[in-house]
C-alpha cells in the first residue's frame, strides 16, 4: 500500500470522528478548566482519542468485526449487540443528531432564521449531499480523506492561527468539575463523547478501505490500521488541544453553557460579522463528514448481515429514516437516544478492553460473560435512571462502588467479573485436560 493512501485513510478516520459534538466539547472544557487546562485536556485525550483508537484496533483485530467481539460472550449476544450499536449510533441517533446540530449550531446563527420549514429544507439539502457522498463506499477515502478533510483542516487552521495571535487573556477562573481533580474531569468529559461506540462501527470501514488498497493478510490490515489511527489520533489531539486553548483564553461571560456558546463569540471576535458564517462552515463540514461515515458504516454492516439487500438500498433507507428523525428536533432525539447509549457504552468499553488483551488473557467464555453481567447491572441502572426509573434500595447498594457518582461505578465490578471468569475458565480448562489425559491412559 502507498503511504499516501494510508495518510488519506487516516484523514478519513479523523473526519469520521470529528463531528459537531467533538467540535464543542473541548472549548467548553478549556473555558471551564481555566488555569487547570493542561491536566484537564490530558484526561480528555485519554478517553476522547486513545479509547476510540483502541476500539478501532480491536475491531480490525477481530475476524468479523464487532459481531466477532460480541460473540465471545454468546453468538446471539454478538449479533444483537452489533445491531443495537449500529442502530443507536446510526439512524436512531448519530445520523439525525449530526444533521440537527449542523442546522441548530451551524445554519441558524449564520442565517438568523430557524423555523420548521427551514429545518425541513436544510435537512433535504444536507441528506441529498450525504446520499451522493455515501452511495459508493469505494470512493469514501477519496471524497473524505482527500478532499473534505483537508478543507475542514484548512478552516480549522485559519481559526486556530488567528486566535493564537489575537487571544491573549490568561486563564483564571476554574469551574467544577475541574477544581480538585482536573484530569478526572477531562477524563469524564472525553468519556461522554461516546466516540468508542462510533469507533466500533467505523472499524469495518477502515478494514474495507485498507482491503480496497490491497491489504489482505491480518498483519497488513493491523499495520495499515495502526498507521491510519496514529494519523487520525494526532490530528484529533492537535484540534482538541487548540479548541480547548481557545476556550481557556475566552473572557468569562454570563449565559455560556456549552462549547457552541464559546466558539460562536470567539468566531465573531476573530472574523467580525462574517464570524457566524465561518463557524457555520466548520460545523457543517464536521457534521457532514461524520454523517457520511455513519451512513456508510451502517449500510455496509446491514448489507453484510442481509446480503440479499443491496448496499445502496440500505443507504437510501437510512437517509430517509435520518431525515425523518432529524425533523423531530434535537431535544426529542436526545431524550430517546441517551438512555440507550448510557446502557450500551459501558458494555462496549469492557468488550474493547478484553479484546485488546486477548493475546494475553485469551477469550474464555466465562470471563466475557461474568464481566458483561456485572457491567450490565450498572449499565441498566444508569439507562433506567435516565428515563426517571429508580429504586432507592438498588441505588443504596450500587452507590458503594467506586466512581458511582461519575457514572463509572461499573468499572471495578467489570474487572472483578473478568478476573473471576478468567480463573474459572483456567480451572475448567485444566480439569478438562486432566480428564482427557486420564482417559488416554
pLDDT of residue 255: 67
Percent of the chain exceeding pLDDT 70 equals 95
Task: Quote the cell numbers at residue 79.
Answer: 449479533
Percent of the chain exceeding pLDDT 90 equals 45
pLDDT of residue 270: 87
Is the pLDDT at 441 greater than 60? The verdict is: no
Picking from 85-94, 146-155, 236-245, 342-351, which range would have the lowest pLDDT averaged per residue?
Answer: 85-94
pLDDT, tens digit (0-9, with 9 covering 90-100), for 183-226: 989 998 888 788 888 898 898 889 888 888 888 788 899 999 99
Is the pLDDT at 430 greater than 80? The verdict is: no
Q: Which residues of 344-376 are buried (b: 16+ CB within 10 A; e: fewer)?
A: bbbbbbbbbbbbeeeeebebbebbbbbbbebbb
pLDDT of residue 12: 92
pLDDT of residue 194: 80
How many residues are recorded in the chain? Answer: 441
Q: Rounded to whole angstroms, what are the CA distances from 244 to 34, 164, 172, 195?
A: 10, 12, 14, 18
Task: Quote the cell numbers at residue 150.
Answer: 483537508
ω into 162 cis (within 30 of 0): no
pLDDT of residue 381: 93
pLDDT of residue 432: 63
Question: pLDDT class for 87, splitting at 50, 70, 90?
Answer: confident
Question: pLDDT class for 51, splitting at 50, 70, 90?
Answer: very high
Question: pLDDT class for 160, splitting at 50, 70, 90?
Answer: very high
pLDDT of residue 238: 95
Q: For the chain, which domains are there? A: 3-328 (1.20.1740.10), 330-430 (no CATH)
pLDDT of residue 372: 96
pTM of the model: 0.88
pLDDT of residue 326: 87
pLDDT of residue 259: 80
Task: Write out the DSSP string of 123-144.
Answer: HHHHHHHHHHHHS-GGGHIIII
Nearest to 393 by CA among 402, 405, 381, 383: 381
Question: pLDDT class for 275, splitting at 50, 70, 90?
Answer: confident
Q: Work out the average pLDDT over 77-105.
A: 88
**pLDDT, averaged across the chain:** 88
| Side-chain half-sphere CA neighbours of 133 within 13 A | 26
Is the pLDDT at 329 greater than 80? The verdict is: no
Nearest to 374 by CA among 329, 323, 414: 414
DSSP 114: -
pLDDT, tens digit (0-9, with 9 covering 90-100), for 54-85: 999 999 988 678 899 999 999 999 999 999 99
DSSP 244: H
Q: Work out the average pLDDT over 20-43.
A: 89
Amino acid at each position: 500500500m502507498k503511504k499516501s493512501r494510508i495518510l488519506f485513510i487516516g484523514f478519513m478516520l479523523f473526519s469520521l470522528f470529528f463531528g459537531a459534538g467533538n467540535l464543542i466539547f473541548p472549548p467548553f472544557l478549556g473555558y471551564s478548566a481555566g488555569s487547570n487546562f493542561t491536566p484537564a485536556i490530558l484526561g480528555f485525550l485519554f478517553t476522547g482519542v486513545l479509547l476510540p483508537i483502541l476500539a478501532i484496533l480491536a475491531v480490525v483485530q477481530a475476524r468479523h468485526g464487532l459481531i466477532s467481539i460480541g460473540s465471545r460472550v454468546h453468538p446471539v449476544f454478538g449479533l444483537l449487540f452489533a445491531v443495537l450499536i449500529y442502530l443507536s449510533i446510526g439512524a436512531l441517533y448519530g445520523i439525525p443528531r449530526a444533521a440537527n446540530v449542523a442546522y441548530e449550531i451551524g445554519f441558524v446563527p449564520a442565517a438568523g432564521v430557524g423555523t420548521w420549514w427551514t429545518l425541513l429544507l436544510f435537512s433535504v439539502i444536507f441528506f441529498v449531499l450525504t446520499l451522493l457522498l455515501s452511495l459508493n463506499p469505494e470512493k469514501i477515502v477519496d471524497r473524505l480523506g482527500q478532499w473534505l478533510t483537508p478543507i475542514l483542516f484548512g478552516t480549522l487552521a485559519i481559526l486556530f492561527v488567528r486566535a493564537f495571535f489575537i487571544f491573549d487573556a490568561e486563564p483564571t477562573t476554574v469551574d467544577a468539575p475541574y477544581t480538585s481533580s482536573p484530569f478526572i474531569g477531562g477524563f469524564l468529559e472525553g468519556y461522554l463523547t461516546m466516540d468508542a461506540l462510533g469507533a466500533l462501527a467505523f472499524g469495518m470501514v477502515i478494514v474495507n478501505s485498507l482491503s480496497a488498497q490491497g491489504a489482505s493478510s491480518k498483519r497488513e490490515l493491523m499495520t495499515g490500521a495502526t498507521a491510519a489511527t496514529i494519523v487520525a489520533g494526532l490530528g484529533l489531539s492537535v484540534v482538541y488541544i487548540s479548541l480547548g486553548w481557545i476556550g481557556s483564553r475566552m473572557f468569562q461571560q454570563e449565559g455560556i453553557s456549552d462549547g457552541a456558546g464559546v466558539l460562536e463569540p470567539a468566531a465573531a471576535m476573530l472574523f467580525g460579522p462574517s464570524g457566524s458564517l465561518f463557524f457555520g462552515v466548520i460545523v457543517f463540514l464536521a457534521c457532514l463528514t461524520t454523517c457520511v461515515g455513519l451512513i456508510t458504516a451502517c449500510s455496509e454492516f446491514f448489507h453484510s448481515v442481509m446480503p440479499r439487500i443491496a448496499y445502496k438500498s440500505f443507504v437510501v433507507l437510512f437517509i430517509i429514516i435520518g431525515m425523518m428523525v432529524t425533523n423531530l428536533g434535537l431535544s426529542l432525539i436526545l431524550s430517546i437516544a441517551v438512555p440507550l447509549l448510557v446502557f450500551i457504552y459501558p458494555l462496549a468499553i469492557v468488550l474493547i478492553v478484553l479484546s485488546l488483551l486477548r493475546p494475553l488473557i485469551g477469550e474464555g467464555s466465562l470471563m466475557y460473560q461474568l464481566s458483561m453481567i456485572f457491567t450490565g447491572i450498572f449499565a441498566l441502572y444508569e439507562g433506567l435512571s435516565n428515563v426517571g426509573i429508580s429504586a432507592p434500595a438498588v441505588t443504596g447498594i450500587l452507590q458503594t462502588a467506586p466512581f458511582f457518582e461519575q457514572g463509572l461505578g461499573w468499572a471495578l465490578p467489570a474487572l472483578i467479573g473478568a478476573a473471576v471468569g478468567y480463573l474459572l475458565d483456567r480451572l475448567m480448562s485444566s480439569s478438562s485436560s486432566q480428564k482427557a489425559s486420564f482417559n488416554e491412559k
